[in-house]
Amino acid sequence: MMTHVQSVYMRIGVDAGGTFTDFVILHDNGSLESFKLPSNPSDPARVILAGLERAATGSSGRVNVVHGSTVATNALLERKGARTGFVTTAGFEDLLEIGRQNRAELYNLTPGPRKLLIDRNHCFGVEERMEFDGSVLRAPSVASLKRLAAKLARARARSVAICLLHSYRNPAHERAVARALARPGVYLCTSHEISPEFREFERAATTAVNAYVGPLMEAYLSELAASRRFHIAIMQSNGGFLSARDAGRHAVRTVLSGPAGGIIGALETARLSGFRRLLGFDMGGTSTDVSLVDGSPRETTESVIDGLPVRIPMLDIHTVGAGGGSIARVDAGGLLRVGPESAGADPGPACYGKGLEATVTDAHVTLGRIDALLGGAVQIDARRAAAAVGRIANRLKLSRDAAAEGILRVANANMERAIRTISVERGYDPRDFALVAFGGCGGLHACEIATELGIRSVIVPRYSGALSALGMLMADAVRDYSLGVLGRADPDSAFAELERKASRESPGASIERTADLRYRGQSYEINVSCPKSIAASAARFHREHERLYGYSNPDREIEVVTVRVRARTRLPKPRLRNASHSVSGQPDSRRLFVDGSWRNIPVWNRDRLGSKFRTGPALILDYGSTTLIPPAWRFQLDRAGGLVMRL
C-alpha cells in the first residue's frame, strides 16, 4: 500500500504485467512501499511514467529505476516487430527458414510451417567467406557491399541483422558489412556482438530476434528517458539488470525479464525464511511462471521462445497460459478447458465489470474467495462473475459451484504439469523443495497444488503480489560475455580476453567464469563453473554429466565449445522486516466454498496475524494478493514477514 515518505535517494522496481503493473519503492531509510496500476498493453510507457511520478512524490533527490519490460516479449510473441532484413554469407540465405531438422511435435504427421520473423525476400547474401579457424578465404568487395546496401534500401528495412559464417572466430567481415550499411534511422546488429558462439542457426536466430525487437525497445526507452528525473535500468532474463543504453542495443536480453525478477525475489525472500531449495510459482493475471532453485537459480543458454531459439544466458523459466485472467470454455468434445487465452487487462475478467467470459478469477469470486482487489481500490461485480460461470455450468450440465470448482481444478492441473516439467522431468523430486507462491493469484492455488505434488511447505513472501518488482530491487548489475572457442588450441586464453573487456565496461565488478564442455563427439554441452582453469573443472563436469545423464567417463577427452564471463556489480539489498508480531483483535468471518461445501471460515488481514501457529481453513488478505489455506495446513508469519504454511 502507498504512503508517501520523504526521501533524498530512492530506488523503484517496476514490473509490467499483462493485467497490472507493479511498483515497489525503496526509500533511503530502508522502508518499502508498493502499489499497482492497471496495465495498458497498447501504451505501456504511459502507465510506467504515471506510476513513477506517483512513486516519486516526496523525493527530492536521485531516483533510480529497475524496470522489467514486456516490450520485447510482446513484440516477439505478437509478431509486431520492426521490418527487418537479414544478411549472411552468400549461399546461406535460407538459414533462418531451414533451421534445424528437430521436430517439435514428434507424432504430428502434418506440422504447420515455421513462423518466420523475417520474410525470405528480405534475406540477402554477401560474397565473402571466413574459414572455421577465423582465417580469411574471401573478403567482401566494395562493389558487393554497395549492391547489398541498395537491395536493403529497396526492401525498406528499418532494422538489419548481420550473421556471417564463422564470425564468432573473426568478426572482421561483419564489421565491414555493418560499416557499409550504416545510415541514419536503420538499426544494425551483428552476431559477434549479440551471440558470438558456435552454431550458425542459433546465432543467426538470436541476432534476428534482437534486430526485430531492438527498434521498438529503443523507441520505448527514449519515451521513458524523456523524463530526466528517472535513471532507468532494465531487468535482463539472466537475473541481473543493465543500463537502458545497453538494453536498446541488446534488446533480446530483456525477453522474459519480469519473470526473472520474480525468481530473484523468491530466492532472496525464501532464504530469509530458511529455505534454499525452492520451486518458484508465479501466478499472475495472464500466465504462470515456474522455476526451480537448488541453492541458486538454474540457467540455460538453449531457450526457445515461440519456436525461436535464443542463445543467451537466461534463467530457466517454464511458462504456461494459466493465470487469473485465463478464460474457461467448453470445447467441441464437451470438455472443460482453461487458457491459454486470457482476458488480460482489457476487458479483463467478468467481475471487473467489462468482460463477458468466465475466468479463473471469476471462479474464485463465485466461490466467495475474492470480494475486492487492491485493498478495495478495485471493486468486484460478483453477479457478473456468477453469470459468466453460470453459462459454463449450463453447457456442462453442472451446478454453478461445481463448474467454478472445476475451472479451478483444471487450472491447477495445468500448473501442476508445469511444475513437474521443471522438477520430475529433470531428475528432481518436488517433495524435497518448498513451494514459493507469489503473483496476485499464487496464494489462492499454492496449498492445493502442493498437496497434489506431495510438497509439505509453502511460502507466500511479503509483498508477494509484487514480488517480481521487489526482486528487481534485489538484483545486481550484470553483464554477460561469451566467445566460441571450439577447436581453439588454448581456450583458457579466451577468459583473459573476455575479462579485459568486462573490466573496461564494468570497472570494479566481480568476475565469474564458466565454460560449456562436452565429451568429444557429443552434440550438446554442459555449463560448469571454471574459477581457476578449464582443466581444473573437469571433475565438476564429470559429476554434472553423471547427475544429468546417469553416467560419466573420466577417461574420455573433454572439448571446450564456449567460454563465458559474467561481470557482477553487487548492490545493497532491501531488508524485509515483519511489520508486527502481535495480533490485533479477532479475525473476520466469511462464508466461502472450501473442500466441496460452503462454510464460514476465519478471514485475517495479513499484518494482524502474528507469529503464532494457526490451523486452516483460513483466508489471508493482503494488498495485491489473497491466500487460501485449506484444512490440515498450519500457518504463521515468520520474522521476515513471510507467510509459512506446513502440511
Question: How do beta strands 230-235 and 241-243 pair?
Answer: antiparallel
Residue 420 contacts by C-beta under 8 Å, 6 or more apart in sequence?
A: 430, 453
Can you give the pLDDT at residue 257?
87
Can you give the pLDDT at residue 446?
96
CA 86, 87, 93, 98 torsion: positive or negative?
negative
* 141-155: average pLDDT: 95
Can you give the pLDDT at residue 547?
84
Question: How do beta strands 336-342 and 372-373 pair?
Answer: unpaired
CB count in 10 Å sphere of residue 167: 28
Most confident of 76-80, 301-305, 329-333: 329-333
584 has a pLDDT exceeding 60? no
479 has a pLDDT exceeding 60? yes
- The CA-CA-CA angle for residues 521, 421, 454, to 5°, reads 135
Return the half-sphere exposure (C-beta side, CA atoms, 13 A cut-off) of residue 562: 24
Dump pLDDT digits (tens) for 593-610: 988 889 999 999 888 887
The helix (H) or strand (E) run that includes residue 437 is strand 434-438
How far apart, in Å, are the Cα atoms of 534 and each of 296, 440, 530? Answer: 22, 44, 6
Dump pLDDT digits (tens) for 264-311: 999 999 998 899 999 999 998 888 999 999 988 988 888 888 788 999
Assess whether the previous peptide bond of 113 is cis (omega < 30° from 0).
Answer: no
Contact 474, 573 (CB under 8 A): yes
Place of cell 529455505: 275
Contact 297, 353 (CB under 8 A): no
3-state secondary structure at position 537 = helix
Q: Where are the alpha helices (DSSP H) in 426-566?
A: 442-453, 467-474, 492-505, 538-549
Assess whether the previous peptide bond of 349 is cis (omega < 30° from 0).
Answer: no
Question: How do beta strands 336-342 and 308-310 pair?
Answer: unpaired
621 has a pLDDT exceeding 60? yes
180 has a pLDDT exceeding 90? yes
Q: Which fold has domain 79-218?
A: Dna Topoisomerase Vi A Subunit; Chain: A, domain 2 (3.40.1360)
Question: How do beta strands 123-126 and 84-89 pair?
Answer: parallel
Q: What value does the mean pLDDT of the chain take?
A: 90
Rounded Cα gap, residues 95 and 123, in angstroms: 9
Question: How do beta strands 477-484 and 558-569 pair?
Answer: antiparallel
Place of cell 531459439: 309
- The CA-CA-CA angle for residues 524, 514, 169, to 5°, reads 70
Q: What's the CATH number for 477-569?
A: 3.30.1490
159 has a pLDDT exceeding 60? yes
How far apart, in Å, are the Cα atoms of 574 and each of 115, 493, 569, 647? Answer: 43, 38, 16, 30
Name the amino acid, one letter, at 355.
Answer: G
Can you give the pLDDT at residue 612?
85
Rounded Cα gap, residues 112 and 97, in angstroms: 13
- Percent of the chain past pLDDT 90, that is, above it, reads 65
Can you give the pLDDT at residue 554?
93
Task: Assign 346 a pLDDT band (cuts: 50, 70, 90).
Answer: confident
* 337-351: average pLDDT: 86
Can you give the pLDDT at residue 427?
83
97 has a pLDDT exceeding 80? yes
Task: Assign 619 a pLDDT band (cuts: 50, 70, 90).
Answer: very high
Can you give the pLDDT at residue 344?
77
Q: Write down the domain spans for the chain.
A: 79-218, 477-569
Q: Where are the alpha helices (DSSP H) in 356-436?
A: 360-366, 382-396, 400-422
Q: Fold match between 79-218 and 477-569?
A: no
7 has a pLDDT exceeding 60? no
Dump pLDDT digits (tens) for 397-425: 999 999 999 999 999 999 999 999 999 98
Dump pLDDT digits (tens) for 50-69: 999 999 887 767 789 999 98
Q: Look up residue 407 and give its DSSP letter.
A: H
DSSP labels, 594-642: ETTEEEEEEEEEGGG--SS-EESSEEEEETTEEEEE-TT-EEEE-TTS-
Least reliable range by pLDDT among 162-171, 452-461, 588-597, 627-636 = 588-597
Is the pTM higher than 0.85? The answer reads yes
Contact 130, 166 (CB under 8 A): yes
103 has a pLDDT exceeding 90? no
Can you give the pLDDT at residue 5?
54
* 165-174: average pLDDT: 95
- The grid coordinates listed for 232 are 532507468
Can you give the pLDDT at residue 8?
58
DSSP labels, 65-127: EEEE--HHHHHHHTT----EEEEEETT-TTHHHH--S--SSTT-SSPPPP--SS-GGGEEEES
Strands (E), 120-196: 123-126, 129-130, 136-138, 159-163, 187-190
374 has a pLDDT exceeding 80? no
* 226-232: average pLDDT: 85
Task: Assign 583 a pLDDT band (cuts: 50, 70, 90).
Answer: low
Rounded Cα gap, residues 199 and 311, in angstroms: 10
Q: Look up residue 576 and give its DSSP letter.
A: P
